[in-house]
Amino acid sequence: MKKGRTDVVLGVQWGDEGKGRVVDALASESGMVVRYQGGANAGHTVVVEEEKYVFHLLPSGILYPDKVCIIGNGVVMDPITLFEELDGLEARGKKLARLLISHGTHIVMPYHKIIDKLAENARSAETKIGTTGRGIGPCYADKYDRIGIRAEDLVSPEVLKEKLTTVLKLKNDLLTKIYDAAPLDFDEVYSTALKWGERIAPMLSDVFLDIDAAVRSGANVLFEGAQATLLDIDHGTYPFVTSSSPCAGGACTGAGIGPGRIDRVIGVIKAYCTRVGEGPFPTEDSGALGDALRAKGGEYGATTGRPRRCGWEDLVAADYAVKINGIDGLALTKLDVLTGFKEIKVCTSYEVDSELRTHFPTSCGELAKARPIYETLPGWTEDISKCRRFEDLPLAARSYVNFIEERTGVPVLLIGVGVGREDTILRGI
């Protein structure tokens, strides 16, 4: 059997590593790009010929008209965002990849977004998660409670009516009796959902078959993770996480492919760390260094515009991500942002309750007490944004990359030295 290569591209840290730009760079060699989890909480930025695109729901291969892009069953899809993205690209005159949506993709309904914001507001300062307000948690909660509305329901008016009648009663009780908020009107929600159904009907597909056929035909397939390992519902810094499975296993359940058919897992890691929203972040620097990284790296949320918390690279966390996901290779992004720092620090262990730890604590309480222990490497001043081969990088930049490889035990296969598609050093990927 002819077989294409299957790669999962996922985040190593707390999201915003630059997965979109890595997927966009790799998509030219692929036939298909599949989003397998998350929803419009993601903000994947791609820059092509100095034009910037931010994708919340569309897979980052969408700008290649000869590819197929897939929204898998593991995604929670907000049709409003999806249509805004499609219409926006069409208005910019872009020819797009063919888009297919799984019948089983859950739909973010209007009540999910309202409840997400009300629930977040009701949380105390200590328990706030800092969600994106995109209805993600409430939509996944309904999925697992088996009262979710799936893409297939939007094209079956009678099924939709029956499901929505039951679920809207529950949601309106919650809105009015618990949150003291206004109820939603059934006819309005129902007619809106039917209109969504009309538009998505031609895109619905048994996507596991499409993926299987693509792999058998010899096409390479990229599985594009959103958010990241440390935001994973099982393996992240719970409860300060998202509600889906960004880790490698999520690609199997969220798209419909067996683990044995995944060839490589590529972890995207930024040259320093950022986090948006609440939760522990051992290398966070709330002083001048954090401000400098934020300013140089443009570290503001692509979805919410919130300033990101910033700090030095954390290889204890990276080692955890390598192990949890079985990462085969790393894609190191934003190396150019570190240009100009006299020295560069890298966290290689933690101190927790006066004890030295080289492994990432899976307890969020313990992680909150972790004090980073750094090793210091020399910085560089040369502009690296035009480097296209590893050998072109200054010695100190190469040493930094080598240090990451040594400490994680994983090769760095791609280095991002700027925001554009071409600002990339490929090393045997």
Summarize as ranges the residues that interact with ligand IMP (CB under 6 A): 15-16, 41-43, 129-132, 134, 136-137, 226-227, 231, 240, 242-243, 276-278
Between β-strands 98-102 and 204-205, what pairing exists: parallel, antiparallel or unpaired?
parallel
Q: What is the dihedral of CA 117, 120, 122, 123, to 10 degrees?
A: 180
Q: Tokens for 296?
A: 């140089």
Minimum separation from the CB atom of position 121 to ligand IMP (A) = 14
Beta bridge partners of 46: 53
Q: Integer distance in angstroms from the first to the last C-alpha of the chain?
A: 23
Distance CA 44, CA 140 (A): 21
Distance CA 412, CA 428 (A): 9
- Relative orientation angle of helices 186-200 and 110-122, to the nearest 10 degrees: 120
Nearest in space to 33 (alpha carbons), one of 168, 167, 225: 225
| Closer residue to ligand IMP in complex, CB, 204/222 | 222
- Residues belonging to the active site: 16, 44
Minimum separation from the CB atom of position 367 to ligand IMP (A) = 15
Minimum separation from the CB atom of position 44 to ligand IMP (A) = 8
Q: What share of the chain is helix, strand, coil (3-state, %, to 5)?
A: 40, 20, 40
Distance CA 27, CA 241 (A): 28
Minimum separation from the CB atom of position 57 to ligand IMP (A) = 11
| Closer residue to ligand IMP in complex, CB, 273/370 | 273
Nearest in space to 222 (alpha carbons), one of 264, 194, 176: 264
Beta bridge partners of 416: 424
SS3 84: helix
Distance CA 328, CA 38 (A): 23
Minimum separation from the CB atom of position 231 to ligand IMP (A) = 5
| Closer residue to ligand IMP in complex, CB, 30/41 | 41
Please, are residues 26 and 10 in contact by the beta-carbon 8 Å criterion? Answer: no
| Closer residue to ligand IMP in complex, CB, 136/255 | 136
| Closer residue to ligand IMP in complex, CB, 11/79 | 11
Establish whether the linkage from the previous residue to 282 is cis, with ω within 30° of 0: no
Please enumerate in sequence order all residues whose Cβ is within 8 A of that of 94, keeping only pairs 6 or more positions apart, or say none. Answer: 63
CA geometry: angle 181, 186, 188, nearest 5 deg? 95
Is the dihedral angle over the CA atoms 6, 10, 16, 18 positive or is it negative?
A: negative
| Closer residue to ligand IMP in complex, CB, 4/137 | 137
Minimum separation from the CB atom of position 36 to ligand IMP (A) = 14
Minimum separation from the CB atom of position 307 to ligand IMP (A) = 12
SS3 251: helix
| Closer residue to ligand IMP in complex, CB, 111/341 | 111
